[in-house]
Chains A and B, each alone.
Chain A
């Protein structure tokens, strides 16, 4: 079973601050995805990364896939209260295997 470790588990910051959350594994993934989940809702896909070293930007969010495809990071610039939520990374090693999820980072951005 592949394990994805996310850190930190909880993060509370002030509006306007920058932050980075991490997703690490000892396994190699063919692709890795990041989702955001809000209370009472299902996770919503933010990005998919597939190439080692790949960097993708989504407005103030920057996602990076590690060169060895074992880890990923999510950096948020100038966090806003609307960024509050549970951030989940999920990886797949190959083919038809379903996504394996990390335990998430719960982010709270205080105005």
Chain B
């Protein structure tokens, strides 16, 4: 049973397109996150949700919009994709904000 699952695993798309990445966790955790990992493997927080409410919205372009239909799901929608959006995007969850994270296996987005 996958604890945090992301789909798709790979996503190749053209500049200007709109795409979504889905994330689901079956751990009963209250907090979910989106991180972006660049080509140098640096993980940077994008969004944090606690029980469907956005609690952190780091400085990311407003082309990125998170959606949480319930506390087990946190999807990421990206409008007007740019070359610089190419990266690996990780979803994660934690039971409480001060506990360890469980990460998904990532979505490798390539914008061409």
Number of A-B contacts (CB under 8 A): 59
Q: What secondary structure prevails in chain B residues at the interface with A?
A: strand
Find A103's partner among B42, B48, B55, B56 (CB 8 Å cutoff): B42
Q: Which of B42, B105, B106 contacts A101 (CB 8 A)?
A: B42
Q: Which has the most chain B C-beta neighbours within 10 Å: A41, A92, A96? A: A96
B90-105 interface mask toward A, CB cutoff 8 Å, 1 = contact, 0 = none?
1010000111111111
B residues 61-110 touching A (CB-CB < 8 Å)? 90, 92, 97-106
B100 touching A48, Cβ below 8 Å: yes
CB neighbours of A40 from chain B (8 A): 105-106
Q: Are B105 and A92 in contact (CB under 8 A)?
A: no
A residues bordering B, Cβ < 8 Å? 30-31, 33, 37, 40-45, 48, 86, 88, 90, 92, 95-101, 103-104, 106
